[in-house]
Amino acid sequence: MSNSRLNWKIGGEAGYGIMTVGEIFSKAFIKGGYCVVAHTEYPSLIRGGHNTFQVRIDAQRIRAPIQPVDILVALNAETVELDLNDLVPGGVLLYDAQSSNVAPTREDIILCEVPLLQLVTDLQLPKVAVNVAAMGASVGLIGYELTLLNAAIQDAFGGKGEKIVEQNVSAARAGYDYVTRAYPEPYKGGLAPIQGPRRMTLTGNDAICMGALKAGMKFIAIYPMTPTHTIMTYIASHAREYGVAMVQPEDEIAGINMAVGASFAGARSMVATSGGGFSLMVEGLGLAGATENPLVVVDGQRPGPSTGLATRTAQGDLRFCLHASQGDFFRVVLAPGDPEECFFETFRAFNLADALQTPVLVLTDKHLATTFFAAEPFETNGLAIDRGLLLAEGEVPADFKRYEATPTGVSARTVPGVEGGIFNANSDEHDERGHFSEDAPVVATLVDKRCRKYFTAAALLDGIKYHGNVTSGTVLVGWGSTKGAILDAMDFLRARDGVELGFLQVLFMSPFPSQLVKERLEGKRVVLIENNRGAQLGSLIKEHAQIRPDHTILRYDGRAFNADELYERIKEVL
């Protein structure tokens, strides 16, 4: 740790508000001008288990976690046993020696013993308040401003009444006062507030919700499934304010069919799930494709087939989403890499769904979905809702053909109740008016119509972003949540080794930006970075751009890349 950065981790058993205090701790430093990346780890259990929350704090822009940590706060003995090796040599273990009944085994660390349980007991607070006392002790240990922690506590608990706020503030004060008395010198020089831009604290899921609300979403159906369950809770808390109908259906099949129905009726609609739930949705996805109904689908990826690892992260659903459901129809597949892209690309997803009259799939994963990031307020000037060829009253032609075979593949549509706009919405193959047909030329005509949307979409989208040195002979390639770790690893390479690399981020998987990818990678040494075993983006690049990566850096153990780990693995192949 220096006086401009800190890596802090807290651990304890489920039920001790680990995620809540982690978010509060993060906000306290964002209020003090710092940039923050904070992620939680918890086991794939319904109840219980060991939970941790890690907060990386830096005066400079950061985008991904790193290891090891400077301070480990252990709220129970299990944290000491499981996480002690995460501490950097010379780091601090802050723990309650009186109640943990465990002796730390490392001699190269600093022990900070704080009677957390006794402090909250003396205040006549419940045992769970040790988590807030531990935050106060941490703030005291590093010489940070307690007032900023108190402000973050107010933000978190203000809705629960002044008494709850006062209790938590008093617990934080107790931890702070004890440490400043017992350990008066700030750890390694202290960490003081700095001047920084105004920032938000939000997850990728939060940003998706914000983008959907900004886009005018009016219907959402979510059967709660990690890691997209917080989309449901976020929208539920804002649904009345924004006039959104939110339904928790009996299962994912019902959810997507409800959303297709709401879209047919004219409402901008979305569903959110993970790979297992999306498996159940694929026939409904095909219904949206056959009836050419706009729909936005969020898939928060997690590892493994079937249930896999329910609370871990991966990027294994890419090929699945590209080919989900039977038959030939076009869908857009995009993969944002940070909260800002989650916001803007979700907004764009609704416009694309309407403009192309087809499903748009937004691929995230557990890491991006639930990690807390510091983000500057989004600049929304210029964002405009585009409903595409949606005909209003008086705009319907006399010879209205809902599925007219246009050169773009997109035909005018209406919603129920618009005079002259009656048509069949048929899930079977059908003619231009929606009537069932097995006539070979008619079938071929409508298949071609749907698939022409690929080329229409390709003309609208660039599909890539390029970061870093445009002349570098080595280009890193990634997608989705690997973006943050790649950019931070590039910063390390520049600062520590004087190496400037380029980074090609593929944002749209369908339509795939074949020519742009080829132009950026041809003649370069290509290093592919993915959170899956099969290098699924790499296979798309070989398929569409005829380029084979020179090196692959893969991680598929249920964890996201740490920036420092990725830095070392990139150095190995340079």
Given this structure, which CATH class describes domain 203-375? alpha beta
Q: What is the pLDDT of residue 2?
A: 56
* CATH class entry, domain 464-573: alpha beta
Residue 16, φ and ψ in degrees, nearest 5: -100, 20
Tokens of residue 166, six digits: 């006062």
Q: What is the pLDDT of residue 4?
A: 87
Instruction: Tell me if residue 345 falls in helix, strand or coil.
Output: helix
pLDDT of residue 294: 98
Mean pLDDT of 331-353: 98
Average pLDDT score over residue span 274-292: 97
Mean residue pLDDT of the chain comes to 95
Largest CA distance in the chain: 86
Which is nearest to 527 in space by CA: 535, 219, 212, 492? 535
Query: Of 458, 404, 424, 425, whose CA–CA distance to 294 is shortest?
Result: 425
- The one-character DSSP state at 430 is B
Instruction: Give dist(CA 229, CA 239) in Å, integer.
Output: 15
Domain ranges of the chain: 5-196, 203-375, 389-461, 464-573
Of 91-105, 128-142, 321-335, the one with minimum mean pLDDT is 91-105
Distance of alpha carbon 117 from alpha carbon 443, whole angstroms: 72
Do domains 5-196 and 203-375 share one topology? The answer is: no
Question: From residue 48, how far is each of 14, 102, 225, 369, 516 by CA, in Å?
Answer: 5, 20, 18, 22, 48
2 half-sphere exposure, CB direction, 13 A CA radius: 5
Mean pLDDT of 474-484: 98
pLDDT of 44? 79
pLDDT single digits (tens) 499-550: 999 999 999 999 999 999 999 999 999 999 999 999 999 999 999 999 999 9
The confidence score (pLDDT) of residue 263 equals 98
Read off the pLDDT of residues 199-208 as tens digits, 9 standing for 90 and up: 999 999 999 9
Q: What region, left, alpha or beta, does residue 232 occupy, with left being phi > 0 and alpha being psi -120 to 50 degrees?
A: alpha
What tokens were used for 375?
């983000």
- Rounded-to-integer distance, Cα 100 and Cα 29, Å: 28
Q: CA nearest 391: which of 364, 410, 365, 363?
A: 410
- Please state the φ and ψ torsions of residue 200, each to the nearest 5 degrees: -95, 160
Average pLDDT over residues 170-197: 93
* Residue 49 reports pLDDT greater than 80: yes
Give me the residue label for tokens 């959810």.
255
* Cβ atoms of residues 274 and 225 within 8 Å: yes
Reading the block at residue 544, the tokens are 């569409």
Among the listed residues 70, 107, 109, the one whose alpha carbon sits nearest the alpha carbon of residue 90: 109
Beta-bridge partners for 53: 10, 40
What was the pLDDT predicted at 520?
97
Q: Rounded to whole angstroms, how far apart are CA atoms 150 and 173?
A: 9
Give the pTM. 0.96
One-letter amino acid for residue 22 of the chain: G
Q: Looking at residue 15, what is its pLDDT? A: 82
**Are residues 215 and 351 in contact, defined by beta-carbon separation less than 8 angstroms?**
yes
d(CA 186, CA 114): 15
SS3 (DSSP) at 516:
helix
The distance from CA 106 to its chain's CA centroid, rounded to whole angstroms, is 36
The whole-number average pLDDT for the span 285-308 is 97
Determine the Cα–Cα distance for residues 359 and 265; give it in Å rounded to an integer. Answer: 16
pLDDT at 207: 98
Plot region of 306 (φ>0 → left; ψ -120 to 50 → alpha; else → beta): left
Average pLDDT over residues 361-376: 97
Q: Say yes or no to pLDDT of 105 above 90.
A: no
Tell me the CATH class for 5-196: alpha beta
